Amino acid sequence: MSASRLRAALDEALARWPAESVTRPAEGHSRKDEQFLSFVSAMHARELLPSHALVSFVDEIGRALQAPASPSDSDCVAGMSRELAHWIRDTYTLHLLPLLNPDGRARVEATSNYCWRGNARGVDLNRNFPWAWGGEGASHNPRSEEYCGKTVLSEPESAFLAGYASSLVNPLQIFLSLHAGVHHIYLPFADSISRASGAAPDNHAAALAAAVAAAGTVACAHGVHFDVGRAADLSEYPADGTIFDFMAGAANVPFSYALELWGASNPAAAEGSLGCNPIFNPQDFELAPALAVAHTLISELLANAVPPSVPPAPHPRAAPGAVPRATLAALASAASPRALKIADLLRSTCHLAASETCP
């Protein structure tokens, strides 16, 4: 989806929301009672799906706001319920940034180089933030796709986001950075220092339990399995200067995630003659299922990642036979901060609860 089509699609999606619920950046002003939820997508130019997923998710909320009441006792239900849509609208002020890297996207569109990751100056925006900036999990070589820039916050995109985080009357409660390439839910930290020390944010156990619960519903509803864990454990390499580490460690956001929404089942075969595009983006026949998975994942994550300062979400929907979420939280806390595969975690939790439905 091109930048111009993205803007039109977002306008159409927001038109489904009540007019009083939508403001543009120039009109926005913070109240002391607001709870903020922020989405950022398309940091990397070659990842086209995250922008599409965010805009269509906003559209799904708008449609759900107008829908009849949903059954409250349904298990393994995919997507956005009317009750959850109203809770999100009434609880949070949503800040949407569907295309953080517009000049990088323009370069991809102009050149058809779907391997291009950085902005127009070649800087990887997700290595430009003041959290372990310039460490071994980044590159100072301008020709590297992980080039961190000449200085920290050298790029207007990253400088804007850092300033935004510090300008709010209330701190962010939830921050979601949307990506594509694999099916992973990354929790902080990703940097090389934390990778060596095992450091994790204070809220790691609660954030991990929320992510595990969301991944479990996605697996039940769509048959797609997300690995969940601290990025330093899940990833094969460290990443220094990332936005979600900065939000968790410097801006003190209690629930900060990097969501990798899609990954080719066979990346080596997918590459073929199409370059990197099918590695990071679903093809036409794969798009609708990929968006459905993204919608369910984000919906369930928001329903489960509830800070103490906000009212509880409507009863989250769980897979049939699922064990209590308190048990999930306890196991996640015991495993913290190691990476966990969702199938292994659910299996371990199941046996902890002595459930008859253990896989």
pLDDT at 348 > cutoff 60: no
Helix (H, G, I), strand (E, B) or coil at 283: coil
The letter for the amino acid at 275 is: G
Q: Would you place residue 358 in the very low, low, confident or very high pLDDT band (cuts 50, 70, 90)?
A: very low
Kindly state the greatest CA–CA separation across the chain.
57
Global pTM? 0.85
Of 46-60, 75-89, 119-133, the one with minimum mean pLDDT is 75-89
- pLDDT exceeding 90 applies to what percent of the chain? 52
Q: Would you place residue 306 in the very low, low, confident or very high pLDDT band (cuts 50, 70, 90)?
A: confident
Res 20: pLDDT? 59
SS3 content of the chain, % helix, strand, coil (to 5): 45, 10, 45
**Residue 190, domain CATH:** 3.40.630.10
What is the full DSSP assignment across 20-52?
GG---GGG----TT--EEEEEE--STT--HHHH
Q: Are 54 and 48 in contact (CB under 8 A)?
A: no
**pLDDT per residue as tens digits for the range 90-137:** 888 889 899 999 999 999 999 999 999 999 999 999 999 999 999 999
Does 56 map to a domain? yes
Does 28 map to a domain? no
Res 224: pLDDT? 92
Taking residues 266-277, report their average pLDDT.
Answer: 62
Does 22 map to a domain? no
Q: Are 256 and 248 in contact (CB under 8 A)?
A: yes
User: Which residues span the domain enclosing 66?
Assistant: 3-16+35-352
- pLDDT exceeding 70 applies to what percent of the chain? 76
Res 75: pLDDT? 53
Res 297: pLDDT? 95
**pLDDT per residue as tens digits for the range 230-261:** 999 999 899 999 999 999 999 999 999 999 99
Q: Which of 20, 260, 271, 356 is catalytic?
A: 260
Nearest CA-CA partner of 243 in 97, 25, 53, 31 = 97
- Quote the CA–CA distance of 42 and 97 in Å, as a whole number: 9
Res 12: pLDDT? 82
What is the full DSSP assignment across 126-195?
GG-SSSSTTSTTSB--TTSTTB--SSTT-SHHHHHHHHHHHH-SS-EEEEEEEE-SSSEEEES--SHHHH
Of 6-10, 53-57, 100-104, 215-219, the one with minimum mean pLDDT is 6-10
Does 282 map to a domain? yes
Helix (H, G, I), strand (E, B) or coil at 290: helix
Number of domains the chain is built from: 1
Does 141 map to a domain? yes
- Quote the CA–CA distance of 328 and 349 in Å, as a whole number: 6
Does 131 map to a domain? yes
Which phi and psi angles does 227 have, rounded to 5°? -85, 140
Res 160: pLDDT? 93
User: Does the annotation count 145 as an active-site position?
Assistant: no
Taking residues 220-229, report their average pLDDT.
Answer: 91
Q: Is the dihedral of CA 47, 53, 54, 56 positive or negative?
A: positive
